[in-house]
């Protein structure tokens, strides 16, 4: 058997997969040749296999996996043990006794993967005997961007890891991250002392995640849209990111009131409460988590079906990382971003107060361009990560619903005239109130209700005005005086339009309707699958979900660790009724086949006897 054949055999018997994905095999092969590597792959791309397979292939050796997060470590080990792979964790949570047992198992060559925190590795490795050291076949540094001060998740203990290559030059090092920028990458190579490391950059595209942006919705309208969207995904898991702790709690409370199973998650909660939310979410006992950015780092749930941003994130890196938590199993998933100019103002304040105002303002601007784009959103994203992507994706709202252009001169004149009549002393939301003719206390106080333009824009909704004012800003019709209460100032170009010397085109505001019926009609437009292809049986799928849930509950693991959604779907399509057939299903390795074929094939046989 060639090396590749034995690797493929392991892939099938341990994980139940038929092929390596993308560059996985090249990376593994390079490591088996003793080479160092830097692996850049998006979240969900399949980084773990790259270091797990070399560990499994080494005869009596093991791979060391350095990981910053205890929770993630424990999850990975649970998942590996489910597949019958001997993996262990060493960290500060373990007792001295457990640690000693672990070292004993390493001596005996009984462990294939050792997960360890950086500080623990550095304090332990000096005490290990040569016999153990000789068995180490790889140092894998997971979440390697933590080494860089420029990154978003700097961890000082990571900077000590450079000594590994110095002390053990013959052991290959593999650094893995989902953060792609060049500064971080160079930092990783320099600090880990692996200047010759081969760089493996995978595509950052996540084609199964559909990208959607809703502009201008605020308050109740936004909330109603969120509820409609969740109702389209009733039994599925999702995350809603909110800007503040308070807004996560408000969102969760309001959703709960409507009977939607939602809870808040933020850094201000006790460790115990946070763990509970994470666990329930993993176990499919909780559908929706309303979270600040702190959520998601420590979880590895493959069947998150949607991620909603109820406000704009501060940069594209964060956005991409957060939406990346959806659809890790490769099945269709949705990202939905709500965006208003109010978000931009808030984020600009944060950016200006941050230590690196200029960089952060620029990043915010790129995020804003993404949100306002009139071209394929995936093009913008991948472009941002310096990846060539030269076609439309047909899985974003711009591709699927190209904006309609119209002559917006009359609306622009209304708005510009209102701005002028306030003496350029009003912020954007005040201008909207004037145009809509809202007699709010501060409008009356300033006498704006006496202006000639008061109420001239009643024919448009608040959301429409929000959207068009944004376009006017982008087109340069007015500026925002940040140093002067964010008041709007008409530019020379704006005056040209106000006085009728030029016209201006707008993109027609599209009211987003997450109405289930309409969605079905849209889906009917997607060409039907070829006739010979087997159909997935949704009723059976639900029953298999119940079988999975029962097993997960009784063995105290997360349902997705029993089988992924993808495997369940394959079962509901192929309907295996024998052990041999069951073993061929995607994601069914030897150990899981042995353990689980009975309950699943029994459920399928039972179902078939009633339904055929």
CB nearer to Zn ion: pick between 396 and 470: 396
Q: Which is nearer to ligand ADP, 48 or 453 (CB)?
A: 48
Nearer to Zn ion, 323 or 376 (CB): 376
- Measured from the CB of residue 566, what is the shortest distance to ligand ADP in angstroms? 8
Q: Which of Zn ion, ligand ADP, none lies near 113, with the C-beta cut-off 5 to 8 A by kind?
A: none
- CB nearer to ligand ADP: pick between 45 and 457: 45
The interface mask with ligand ADP, positions 548-567, x = CB under 6 A, is ----------------x---
Q: Is the Cβ–Cβ distance between 509 and 372 less than 8 Å?
A: no
d(CA 339, CA 117): 38
Size of the site for Zn ion (CB under 5 A): 5
> In this chain, which stretch among 43-51, 127-135, 345-353, 429-437 interacts with ligand ADP, using CB under 6 A?
43-51
DSSP 12: I
Given ligand ADP, Zn ion, none, residue 393, with its beta carbon under 5 to 8 Å by kind, binds: Zn ion
Residues 44-63 that bind ligand ADP (CB under 6 A): 44-49
Q: Is 17 in the site for ligand ADP (CB under 6 A)?
A: yes
Q: How far apart are CA 290 and CA 273, in angstroms?
A: 14
Site residues (CB under 5 A) for Zn ion, limited to 399-438: 399
Half-sphere exposure (Cβ direction) of 608: Cα atoms closer than 13 Å: 13
Binding test (CB under 6 A) with ligand ADP, winner from 20, 51, 204, 596: 20
Which residue lies nearer to ligand ADP by CB, 65 or 251? 65
DSSP conformation letters of 538-595: HHHHHHHHHHHHHHHHHHTS-HHHH--HHHHHHHHHH---SHHHHHTSTT--HHHHHH
**Of the candidates 43, 210, 248, 466, which one interacts with ligand ADP according to CB under 6 A?**
43
Residue 376 contact partner, candidates Zn ion, ligand ADP, none, CB within 5 to 8 A by sort of partner: Zn ion
177 binds ligand ADP, rule: CB under 6 A: no
**Bridge partners of 490?**
478
- Select from ligand ADP, Zn ion, none the partner in contact with residue 396, using the beta carbon and a kind-dependent cut-off of 5 to 8 Å: Zn ion
Task: List binders of Zn ion among 226-255 (CB under 5 A).
Answer: none
What does the alpha-carbon distance between residue 358 and residue 197 come to, in Å, rounded to a whole number?
Answer: 32
66 binds ligand ADP (CB under 6 A): no
Q: In a 3-state reduction of DSSP, which class is residue 384?
A: helix
The CA angle 246-75-536, to the nearest 5 degrees, is: 90
328, interface contact from Zn ion, ligand ADP, none, CB < 5-8 Å by kind? ligand ADP
328 makes contact with ligand ADP (CB under 6 A): yes
Q: Exposed, middle or buried: residue 524 (CB in 10 Å: 0-12, 13-18, 19+)? A: exposed
Which residues 376-405 are close enough to bind Zn ion by CB under 5 A?
Answer: 376, 378, 393, 396, 399
Q: Smallest gap, in angstroms, from Cβ of residue 211 to Zn ion?
A: 7
What b/e string do you get for 12-43 counting C-beta neighbours within 10 Å, with b at 16 or more? bbbbbbeebeebbbebbbbbbeebbbbbbbbb
* Cα distances (Å, whole numbers) of residue 59 to 231, 313, 393, 438: 51, 46, 44, 75
User: N- to C-terminal Cα distance for the chain?
Assistant: 44
DSSP category for residue 514: -
> What residues make contact with ligand ADP under the rule CB under 6 A?
17, 19-21, 24, 41, 43-49, 302, 328-329, 564
């Amino acid at each position: 058997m060639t090396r590749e054949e034995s690797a493929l055999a392991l892939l099938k018997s341990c994980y139940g997969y038929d092929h390596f994905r993308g560059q996985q095999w090249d990376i593994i092969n390079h490591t088996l040749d003793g080479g160092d590597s830097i692996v850049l792959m998006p979240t969900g791309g399949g980084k773990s296999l790259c270091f797990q397979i070399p560990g499994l292939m080494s005869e009596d050796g093991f791979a060391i996996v350095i990981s910053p997060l205890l929770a993630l470590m424990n999850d990975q080990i649970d998942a590996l043990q489910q597949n019958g792979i001997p993996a262990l964790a060493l960290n500060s949570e373990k007792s001295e006794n457990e640690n000693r047992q672990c070292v004993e198992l390493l001596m005996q060559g009984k462990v294939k993967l050792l997960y360890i925190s950086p500080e623990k590795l550095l304090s332990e490795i000096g005490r290990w005997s040569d016999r153990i050291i000789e068995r180490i076949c790889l140092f894998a540094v997971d979440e390697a961007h933590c080494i860089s001060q420029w990154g978003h998740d700097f961890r000082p203990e990571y900077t000590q890891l450079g000594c590994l290559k110095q002390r053990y030059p013959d052991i290959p090092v593999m650094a893995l991250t989902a953060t792609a920028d060049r500064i971080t990458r160079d930092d990783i190579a320099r600090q880990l002392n692996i200047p010759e490391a081969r760089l493996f950059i995978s595509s950052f595209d996540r084609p199964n995640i559909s990208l959607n942006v809703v502009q201008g919705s605020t308050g109740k309208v936004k909330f109603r849209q969120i509820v409609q969207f969740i109702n389209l995904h009733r039994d599925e898991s999702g995350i809603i990111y909110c800007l503040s702790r308070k807004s996560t709690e408000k969102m969760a409370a309001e959703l709960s009131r409507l009977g939607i199973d939602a809870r808040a998650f933020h850094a201000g909660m006790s460790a115990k409460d946070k763990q509970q939310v994470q666990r329930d979410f993993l176990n499919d006992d909780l559908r929706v988590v309303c979270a600040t950015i702190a959520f998601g780092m420590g979880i590895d749930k493959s069947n998150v079906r949607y991620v909603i941003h109820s406000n704009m994130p501060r940069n594209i890196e964060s956005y991409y990382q957060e939406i990346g938590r959806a659809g890790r199993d490769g099945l269709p998933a949705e990202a939905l971003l709500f965006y208003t100019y109010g978000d931009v103002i808030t984020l600009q304040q944060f950016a200006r107060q941050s230590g690196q105002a200029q960089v952060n303002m620029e990043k915010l601007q790129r995020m804003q361009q993404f949100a306002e784009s009139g071209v394929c959103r995936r093009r913008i994203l991948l472009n941002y990560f310096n990846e060539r992507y030269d076609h439309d994706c047909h899985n974003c709202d711009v591709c699927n619903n190209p904006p309609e252009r119209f002559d917006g001169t009359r609306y622009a004149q209304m708005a510009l005239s209102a701005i002028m009549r306030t003496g350029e002393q009003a912020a954007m939301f005040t201008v909207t109130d004037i145009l809509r003719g809202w007699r709010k206390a501060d409008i009356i106080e300033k006498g704006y209700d006496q202006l000639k333009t008061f109420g001239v824009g009643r024919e448009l909704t608040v959301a429409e005005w929000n959207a068009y004012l944004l376009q006017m800003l982008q087109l340069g019709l007015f500026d925002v005086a940040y140093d002067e209460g964010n008041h709007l100032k008409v530019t020379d170009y704006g005056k040209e339009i106000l006085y009728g010397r030029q016209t201006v085109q707008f993109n027609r505001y599209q009211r987003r309707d997450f109405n289930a019926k309409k969605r079905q009609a849209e889906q009917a437009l997607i060409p039907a699958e070829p006739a010979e292809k087997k159909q997935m049986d949704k009723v059976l799928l639900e029953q298999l979900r119940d079988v999975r849930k029962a097993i997960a509950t009784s063995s105290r693991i997360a349902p997705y660790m029993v089988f992924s959604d993808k495997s369940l779907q394959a079962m509901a399509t192929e309907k295996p009724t024998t052990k041999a057939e069951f073993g061929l299903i995607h994601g069914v390795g030897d150990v899981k086949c042995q353990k689980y074929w009975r309950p699943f094939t029994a459920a399928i046989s039972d179902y078939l006897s009633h339904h055929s």
